[in-house]
Amino acid sequence: MSNKDLQVLRNEIDAIDVKLLELLSERGKLAQEIGKVKQVSGVKRFDPVREREVLDKIAENNEGPFDTPTMKHVFKTIFKACLDLQEADERKTLLV
Amino acid sequence: MSNKDLQVLRNEIDAIDVKLLELLSERGKLAQEIGKVKQVSGVKRFDPVREREVLDKIAENNEGPFDTPTMKHVFKTIFKACLDLQEADERKTLLV
């Protein structure tokens, strides 16, 4: 194995992970804003129709190398984290 | 609820999801390349020291709103998907 090749590839992955972290955090902040809008209006946080639409769009745009079930699984993990964030925020509000 | 506000926020999330999909796919391709380099040299795909380093870097750079255990969980899901990709590639090579 060329250690240099491996290191170059790992550096590229590290750069992607930094961007992923930023985008995920941004997505979390937007989910929090959506949670607030929904809380004010008494609308339920979880919207299965919206989730289905988002997953369908991901399936449409997925060009690999991950197969679509795998990519959907990753996004469902992200959705769950966002929903937990909204729930934590709502609990905080209720405690005030 | 202002439906317009909600729609604007959702559009922003959709734009992030497109970028996430691209970055995840790019990460998958790099993982495949790393898998090939490792296969040629007979090195094990899973490297717990490297995974620990990557997770430590994520913890260091995480500025919220997700807490670090949640962010690590999301990244572990991504690592697992990448490892599965490498394993599938290796199986294909062994079958040829």
**Any chain A CB within 8 A of the CB of B49?**
no
Residue A69 corresponds to which amino acid? P
At B15, the pLDDT band (50, 70, 90 cuts) reads very high
Contacts of B31 in chain A (CB under 8 A): 13
pLDDT number for residue A93: 84
Residue contact A21–B54, C-beta within 8 A: no
Residue A1 has pLDDT above 50, yes or no: no
SS3 A44: coil
Phi, then psi, of B89 in degrees rounded to 5 = -60, -40
- Which of A2, A6, A40 is most worth mutating to test chain B (most B CB atoms within 10 A of its CB)? A6
SS3 A96: coil
**Any chain B CB within 8 A of the CB of A58?**
yes
**Any chain B CB within 8 A of the CB of A39?**
no
Interface of A with B in 69-88 (CB under 8 A): 70-71, 73-75, 77-78, 81, 84-85
Q: How far apart, in whole angstroms, are the C-alpha atoms of residue A8 and residue B30? A: 10
Q: Which of B4, B6, B9, B21 is nearest to A57 (CA)?
A: B21
- Cα atoms found within 13 Å of the Cα of residue A80, Cβ hemisphere only: 11
Q: Show the tokens assigned to B1.
A: 């609820």
Average pLDDT estimate for B3-7: 80
Residue A61 has pLDDT above 80, yes or no: yes
Q: To the nearest 10°, report the CA torsion of A53, A77, A17, B18.
A: 0
For A21, residues 6+ apart whose C-beta sits below 8 A from its C-beta are B58, B61, B62, B71
Contacts of A45 in chain B (CB under 8 A): none
Average pLDDT estimate for B48-74: 97
Mean pLDDT for all residues in chain A: 93
Identify the burial level of A55 via C-beta atoms within 10 angstroms of its C-beta, where 0-12 means exposed, 13-18 middle and 19 or more buried: middle
At B43, the pLDDT band (50, 70, 90 cuts) reads confident
Q: How far apart, in whole angstroms, are the C-alpha atoms of residue A64 and residue B29? A: 9
pLDDT number for residue B1: 47
Residue contact B14–A54, C-beta within 8 A: yes
Closest-CA distance, A4 to chain B, in angstroms, reads 11
Residue B10 has pLDDT above 70, yes or no: yes
Provide the ipTM.
0.93
**Any chain A CB within 8 A of the CB of B26?**
yes
Average pLDDT estimate for B65-94: 95
pLDDT number for residue B3: 61
Q: Show the tokens assigned to A36.
A: 């607030």
Supply the DSSP symbol for A42: T
Threshold 0.90, pTM exceeds: yes
Average pLDDT estimate for A45-53: 92
Longest dimension (CA), chain B: 58
